[in-house]
Chains A and B, each alone.
Chain A
Amino acid sequence: MLVVPRSTLVFFSIRRATGVKAFDHRLWSIHWQPLVWVLFKVLLAVVVARWLWSWTEPLAVALQEGFAFFRLEEIYSFQMPDGAFFRRIARLLVGAVLGYYGVFYLALQVQGLFSALVIHRPSGDAWYLQSMVLWRRIHSFPAAGGTTVTVQQTLPGRLLDMGTVQVYRGGEEVVTVRAIGAVARAAQLLQGRR
């Protein structure tokens, strides 16, 4: 089985982004999420999803009681839906919510696995590489003119792919980006590209 280390993939992205031919590891500082941490988050998500799934039965009971509130069985001669119907509805609802957020969350973890903040030590240039297929959405922040990049994330923010990226240019202009995913626009704005 061919195992490609993440660093190799990130270096590949950096080469595409910067045009650097030879890559000297000593000149670059790379920060990413540890693999164990990503796996832990996925495991945690599965446990939480399993726990939420156990709420389908109480939800089915609540739905059935809510239906009974309208007293349709005392008005119509129809066959009214039984408990199995409400269990199906409850599973559908919980499954849809868990499915949506589950797919969304897992995709974020895969994306996070291949994302990294990369800094070229001699020049201070920084890149935030956020990519699922590595060469898309590469964000660069030229350091000329005293630009600095700060990424601030709390643990819950990290879990939700939220946080703050603050970019200072020349000590005057400040752009605050609440979502990591919007960094590309900030970079374009700073570089004067529209």
Chain B
Amino acid sequence: MKSTWPVTLLAALALVTVHTLFHLTFMQQYLDWDQIVYLNNIRNALQPERLPLLNPHHLHLEIGGAHWHSFILERWGDAGLTDLAFNNRLRSLAAAAVALFFFVLFLREMTGSTLWALAGAILLAGTHGYMAYATKVDTPVFPSATLAMTLWVVQRLEQTRRVPLVWGVLGGVILFLGVMAHQYMAIPAVLGCVALVLPRWLFPDPRRWAPFRRSSPQRDRSVRDIPRRAVATVVMALVGVSLVAGAYFWAGKTVYNLPFAGEQGVEARGPLRSNTFQRWLFLYAGTNMWGRGLEQFDPRAPFRGYTDMFISQPGTVTRFNRNYRFEDGFVHRQLRNMTAFLVAATVILLPALWMRYRRLFVFVLSTAVVKILFTTYWEAYYYEFWIIPGMLLVVLLVMILHHLAVLLNGVTLRGGSLPGVAYLLFLSLVFFNHNVQHYLVNYSRVQRLESYSSEWPESYYLPLFSTDIYLHPQDVHREAFPGSLRSVQ
């Protein structure tokens, strides 16, 4: 990192502080199926006489939520932070802040400019998916945080010249956190390791073809120290795999005592005791509820999920459903333009991007492609699965625009970054404005319930609404913004 890193750190801190305060002002209140189930699981995990639900899909969620709530109660309970749902929304918000923080650090190091980093992070923060899940009691924001950390640590491992083993161990811990956040984070973990150990001849020195060479005492950092990087990558993989295996064995064997397939005479415990260890490990894959997107392919599904990731549908359209409704307005046209530009520029500039960003480009592009395919296969119309691809596409967009800016700098000498940064900020403004208006205001001002089971008793979900913490629970913005916002639909 450059010597100006305190400036970058302060800028990142300022961004996450503003992001946190903004979301506290517009804290979502609505509850849906997932949030109700997760919050009840967390509430159960707080009861010492019950074994917590350890969902292998995202092992940390319930017990992590219970520990977080206990911590907040102990530390700030006297100040009024006693609400289970609110405290867990704060937990999601903290994860969103971590994601933005590392996103800024990563983009800063990639582009060499804090301005580029802030523009990219603001674009991410303004997307519908990120905005929605930043304060929702749900899973995707945690893998988002670990993805940003993974991008950052892969970048460090690619560039570091000193003590790469320390980075390797740290990277292993981050990969472990990623898989704990969600099992699908094994994809970026594997691809990150692959990108780091790809052979050097795949990344030739671009100066080889230059008409003249400018001598420099600094050698190219990205092509040096290959053995040390490979060793650090192996260390990262080993640490990550060991910790993940340890966590799953702790949960599946120590806590639940689940039998291996074919094992007899083992008395399993806990809410998932009817499963074998193997079946528990891949619980969601074995239920046949998800993962049919490729066999029953409907092209509208991934387009709906992708669109929802960036911009909100109008408030009357129910989320998390197969209602394929697409708009044709200014905001949607911007998303289409951005997507067309992203695809065309990636194809046309692929060799140039490969040469400039090297292993990072390989990592970002391969992870985006694999995650898009996986999401299309798994749950194409749920935009929660498009958040990781969306983050990676934002990185790709910054890469492309930054590459063009460098080329433009060669022509104009100054101001080459202006069009790219301006475009990022324009997209941020368009998405942010649309999503706040059509999503956040409606979902934060009043209590709202959607996509829940009619078979549930009211006692299962009604107590989860946060009431005590608000001055006006039925219209939380009544005093702060009296009559200044559009009415709730």
> Out of B215, B217, B469, B481, which one reaches A77, CB within 8 Å?
B469
- CB neighbours of A76 from chain B (8 A): 24, 80, 469-471
Contact with B along A162-190 (1 / 0, CB 8 A): 00000000000111010000100110110
> Does A100 belong to the interface (CB within 8 Å)?
yes
Contact with A along B453-471 (1 / 0, CB 8 A): 0000000000000001111
Which chain A residues (79-121) contact chain B, with CB distance < 8 Å?
Answer: 79, 93, 96-97, 100-101
Knowing A70-B21, A70-B24, A100-B6, the reply to whether A75 touches B479 (Cβ < 8 A) is yes
- CB neighbours of A186 from chain B (8 A): 217
Knowing A75-B470, A79-B80, the reply to whether A173 touches B480 (Cβ < 8 A) is no
- CB neighbours of B21 from chain A (8 A): 67, 70, 72
> Does B209 belong to the interface (CB within 8 Å)?
no
- CB neighbours of A93 from chain B (8 A): 10
Please state if B25 and A182 are interface contacts (CB–CB under 8 Å): no
> Does A51 belong to the interface (CB within 8 Å)?
no
Which chain B residues (206-229) contact chain A, with CB distance < 8 Å?
Answer: 215-219
> Does B22 belong to the interface (CB within 8 Å)?
yes
> Does B79 belong to the interface (CB within 8 Å)?
yes
- CB neighbours of A74 from chain B (8 A): 471, 479-480
Knowing A70-B24, A177-B217, the reply to whether A79 touches B469 (Cβ < 8 A) is no
Number of B interface residues in the complex (CB < 8 A): 24
Please state if A78 and B22 are interface contacts (CB–CB under 8 Å): no
Please state if B480 and A75 are interface contacts (CB–CB under 8 Å): yes
Which chain B residues (444-489) contact chain A, with CB distance < 8 Å?
Answer: 468-471, 476-477, 479-481
> Does B81 belong to the interface (CB within 8 Å)?
yes
> Does A21 belong to the interface (CB within 8 Å)?
no
Please state if B79 and A78 are interface contacts (CB–CB under 8 Å): yes
> Does A71 belong to the interface (CB within 8 Å)?
yes
> Out of B25, B78, B217, B471, which one reaches A70, CB within 8 Å?
B25
- CB neighbours of B219 from chain A (8 A): 194
- CB neighbours of B468 from chain A (8 A): 77
Q: Which residues of B contact A (CB under 8 A)?
A: 6, 10, 21-22, 24-25, 78-81, 215-219, 468-471, 476-477, 479-481
Q: Which residues of A contact B (CB under 8 A)?
A: 67, 70-72, 74-79, 93, 96-97, 100-101, 173-175, 177, 182, 185-186, 188-189, 194
Q: 13 A-B residue contacts at CB 8 Å? A: A67-B21, A70-B24, A72-B25, A75-B476, A76-B80, A76-B470, A77-B468, A78-B469, A101-B6, A175-B216, A177-B217, A182-B217, A188-B217
